[in-house]
Structure formats: structure tokens, C-alpha cells
Amino acid sequence: MYAKARAHTNIALVKYWGKKNQELILPYTDSLSLTLNEFYTTTEVTFNAELIQDSFLIDGQSVDSKNEQKLTHFMNLVRQQSNCSLYATVNSENHVPISAGLASSSSAFAALAAAASKAAGLNLDQTQLSRLARRGSGSATRSVFGGLVEWRKGNDDETSFAVPVDEQVDFGLEMIAILTDTRVKKVSSRSGMQNVVATSPYYPAWQQVVANDMVAMKSAIVKKDINLIGQIAEENAMRMHALTLSAQPSFTYFNADSLVAMSAIKDLRTQGINCYYTLDAGPNVKVIYQHTDRKAILDALSTKFSKQNLVVSLPGPGIEYLE
């Protein structure tokens, strides 16, 4: 009972920020993301009758007790669905910094959902797999698919899942990740969301912002208008981060280099190079642009950041079963 799967991270262009159900991980809003080819997780799962508990390794290291509890809970969901009572060894390799605002949990739980369900004998379709991945991490529900992906918030476990918007992105959309700090962030996405939902007076307005942005973003994708996609994504990101500043206590995921990067991107726009930024729950800035402008953007950013901290990503694939 063995399987190996790979999933890629996704970066939300229209963010989800806040859950209405913590157990089922049901969001207050829809969201829309781009799956990236450069950042991914590869996971092997083996169910074994000789084991007396699950065993987890991430990049060759045992996980801490908090993450072990979370992973065991997820494996219990797989066991419930498959009527399998065996424990498993789980071995994951991350090609993305963990908990640094680069959506590592999206690839991690999508890969785990795929490998664990297959190893347990389940034959899940993509919708079922998306629903299972969501139970580990909200953003993982989108990493089941490649390209541009929508997560429909739904009302319950059955109706909250991702659907592809454009899996074959063929109009030159790319993203550069500016790695300003790849250390684990001080405020986790989960606790940050809970704080914002509970204390920000602007949270109801945020839900309407997302509803409007989803309509506008899907229209921009149909038009293959990268400038409009970038504009909507940048505004949506800044409004999400405004929520963190309006929470009690207030907090921010930005660092000094985040601000330098955002300023540099705005400067490029004044020079006639169309590029836009977005940030998730972390200080690392992602640049949205047309592939023909890649060299000019990299040349400008490399005067402020080391080249190894500028990672070019193209639209990436959905779940891949490797064994």
C-alpha cells in the first residue's frame, strides 16, 4: 500500500483570508490562484501493518508535536474514508521554504492527500481530492489543479472545493518570487486569520471586496489581459494586508525588503514596464508580468536583491502521481 505524488504551490491572485468553519476549513469568500512550476512538494506514503503509529519525515527531519498532531488528524480522515486501519510512514521533500508566505502548505497537503488516498486504495476524482486536501490546508484545495484555479467557498464539506479556470495558461503570464526572508514567520496564517476575523472592523467590507474582485479577475482572465490581472491582484493583496493592520493587536507580514520590492515594482511601472505585486501571509513579494518583460524586470530587481533570491515561475501543473 504505497504511493508517491507531487503537488505544486499556488499563489492567490484573489485572496481568501478567514474561515467560517475551522474544523472543515470553510472560507468566508471564494478565491483564485495561479499554480507555480518552481515550488513543489513530493510525498511518499506507505501503509504498513507492522507500525503502531504514523511516522512523518519532512526533508529528512521528524516533525514537531504540533505538526504531528495536525498530520495525524489528516491521516485519520484518509483512514475513515478508506476503511483502512493501518498506520503509515509519510516522507515529504519540500522544494519551497516552509511557513514563509510561499504557500508551502498548499503543495504539502495536496501532495499528501493524493499520495495517502491512493496508497489507501481510494480512487478519488479531482473534486473529491480537492475536498480532502482542503481539510489539511485551505489553499491546498487549489493545488490539485494546474494553472489558474478558483476555490468555491461552498456551504459545507460537499460544496467547498476548487475548479480549474484555465489549466493551460498560454498568454505569457509569469511570476517572479522575490525571496526577502525564508524563515518561519512569527504569525501563522491560521492564527492571523482568526485574529482578523474576530477583531477587524473592516472584515465585512473585505468579503464584498473579494466578491467584486472575483468577477473582475475572471473577466480579465477570459480577456487574457495580464495588466488587468496584475492590477486586481495588487489591490486585492494590499486590502488583505490592511486587515492585519486593523486587527487587535495589529500585525504585519511585511519587512523592510518587502517595501523595497514593492517600491521597485512601482518604479518599473513609471518607466513603462507593466508589472504588479502580490504578497500572501509572509514578507516575500511575488511579481506578476508578461513573459516578454522578464529580462527588464530581473535586471532592475537584481540591483536591489541577489539573483539567487529572484525565482522565475511559470504556470505549473496539477497533481502528478509518480508511483
CATH number of the CATH domain containing 21: 3.30.230.10
Which pTM was predicted? 0.94
Lowest mean pLDDT segment, chosen from 34-48, 174-188, 235-249? 174-188
Cα(144)–Cα(241) distance, integer angstroms: 26
Contact between 289 and 229 (Cβ < 8 Å): no
Residue 321 domain-assigned? Answer: no
Q: What is the pLDDT of residue 184?
A: 80
Residues 13, 135 within the same domain: yes
Name the band, by pLDDT with cuts 50, 70 and 90, for residue 176.
Answer: very high
Residues 151, 214 within the same domain: no
Residues 192, 268 within the same domain: yes
Residues 111, 186 within the same domain: no
Name the band, by pLDDT with cuts 50, 70 and 90, for residue 85.
Answer: very high
User: In terms of C-beta density within 10 A (0-12 exposed, 13-18 middle, 19 or more buried), how is residue 194 classed?
Assistant: middle
Element (H, E) at 104: helix 104-119
Residues 140, 10 within the same domain: yes
What is the total count of domains within the chain? 2
Residues 10, 152 within the same domain: yes
Q: Tens digits of per-residue pLDDT, 19-68?
A: 999 999 999 999 999 999 999 999 999 999 999 999 999 999 998 988 89
Q: Tens digits of per-residue pLDDT, 92-136?
A: 999 876 555 566 889 999 999 999 999 999 999 999 999 999 999
Which residues form the domain of 150? 2-169
Residues 149, 177 within the same domain: no
Name the band, by pLDDT with cuts 50, 70 and 90, for residue 11.
Answer: very high
Cα(136)–Cα(144) distance, integer angstroms: 13
